[in-house]
């Protein structure tokens, strides 16, 4: 039988399951940990592909020695944009109709603008990022809190290493993730005795999040963790009910440096990105592009 962690066999509402970290978490929870995962994303084609792979994995696991002794997990999905309060009310209604009571809420869906100076970004960009990365977490909390309290459930918010140390070129993304970290820390104290509430700060992970970037820097590639490995590590930390989860060499470096040298950490990290001279950061450091052209 699969190891019976506290989340074994639970009902999980997980956003951002159509790709990246969310997809791999959904796959592992639904197969290895026999959870009933209800996933949310927007792109129906991607969601349908995810379901196919996850259903196959559930089937495969059920035939293993451990799987034969375990309860069978499941995966269902819903296509919904999670960035409005109305969407969350709809999600709750649909789950009610399907008799799905949420034990664990994982807010994973997130977006990032291409690396650029803030002067080039619009108020609409800011709104879009905050609505997905921060307000969606507030809405889901408001909509599901009473249900989660009833079952002494859990809320897991996926923040980012950007919340541990601000970086030039990611002002808006970092601000949205810092807001989420701060919010999650506060509510985790407010509900200490009723709920397990945690935030996760992954470092660079190879996912579609960088789909808008010209080319991924060598530096980033060298620290980038595969999405499946990141998902595995997150689940391992959740099993131990950690409330603050920092993962990846870059995330640990950013966290450590910001604690040791809070006044200079941001400019040091931003300086490392600059000297990497990689195209991904060209809009933040246009002089790098110029120098490459001259050569
Ligand atoms: N990759 C990294 O280096 C990294 C580092 C730190 C933190 N994170 C965080 O990890 C989380 C997962 O990101 P990822 O790297 O796995 O990226 P990803 O592969 O791009 O996955 C993002 C997921 O979020 C969904 N999504 C985005 N906006 C949505 C919306 N408005 N409504 C519903 N679903 C939405 C996407 O679904 P559709 O495409 O179907 O809309 C997709 O399933 C994010 O919160 C991200 O900020 C990532």
Task: Give the pLDDT confidence of 276-290 residue by residue, as tens digits.
Answer: 887 888 899 988 877
Which residue from 182, 184, 176, 160 is spatially nearest to 125, judged by alpha carbons?
176
* Residues in the chain, pLDDT under 70: 1-3, 211-217, 292-295
Handedness of CA 83, 188, 22, 10 (dihedral sign): negative
Domain 11-294 has CATH 3.40.50.720: yes
Q: What is the pLDDT of residue 13?
A: 98
pLDDT at position 213: 63
pLDDT of 2 reads 57
For ligand 1, is residue 78 a contact (CB within 6 Å)?
no
Q: What is the distance in A from the centroid of ligand 1 to the CA of 8?
A: 24
Domain extent listing, the chain? 11-294
Distance from the alpha carbon of residue 20 to the mean position of ligand 1, in angstroms = 7
Ligand 1 site, residue 16, Cβ cutoff 6 A:
yes
pLDDT at 212: 60
What integer pLDDT is reported at residue 277 of this predicted model?
81
Note the pLDDT of residue 215: 63
């Amino acid at each position: 039988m699969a190891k019976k962690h506290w989340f074994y066999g639970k009902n999980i509402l997980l956003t951002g399951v159509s790709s990246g970290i969310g997809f791999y978490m959904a796959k592992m929870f639904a197969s290895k940990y026999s959870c009933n995962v209800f996933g949310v994303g927007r792109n129906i084609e991607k969601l349908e592909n995810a379901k196919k792979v996850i259903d196959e994995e559930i089937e495969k696991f059920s035939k293993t020695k451990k799987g034969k002794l375990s309860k069978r997990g499941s995966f269902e999905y819903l296509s919904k944009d999670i960035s409005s309060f109305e969407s969350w009310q709809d999600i709750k209604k649909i789950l009610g109709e399907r008799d799905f009571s949420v034990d664990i809420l994982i807010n994973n869906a997130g977006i990032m603008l291409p690396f650029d100076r803030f002067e080039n970004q619009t108020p609409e960009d800011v709104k879009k990022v905050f609505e997905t990365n921060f307000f969606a977490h507030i809405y889901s909390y408001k909509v599901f809190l009473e249900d989660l309290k009833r079952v002494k459930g859990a809320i897991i918010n996926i923040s980012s290493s950007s919340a541990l140390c601000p970086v030039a070129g990611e002002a808006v993304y970092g601000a949205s993730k810092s807001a989420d970290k701060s919010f999650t820390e506060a509510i985790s104290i407010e509900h200490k005795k009723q709920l397990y509430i945690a935030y996760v700060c992954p470092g660079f992970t190879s996912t579609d999040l960088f789909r808008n970037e010209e080319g991924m820097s060598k530096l980033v590639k060298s620290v980038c963790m595969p999405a499946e490995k990141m998902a595995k590590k997150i689940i391992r930390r959740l099993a131990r009910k950690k409330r603050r989860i920092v993962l990846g060499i870059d995330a640990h470096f950013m966290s450590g440096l910001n604690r040791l040298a809070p006044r200079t950490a941001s400019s040091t990290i931003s300086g490392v990105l600059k000297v990497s001279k990689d195209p991904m950061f060209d809009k933040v450091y246009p002089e790098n592009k110029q120098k490459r052209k001259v050569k």
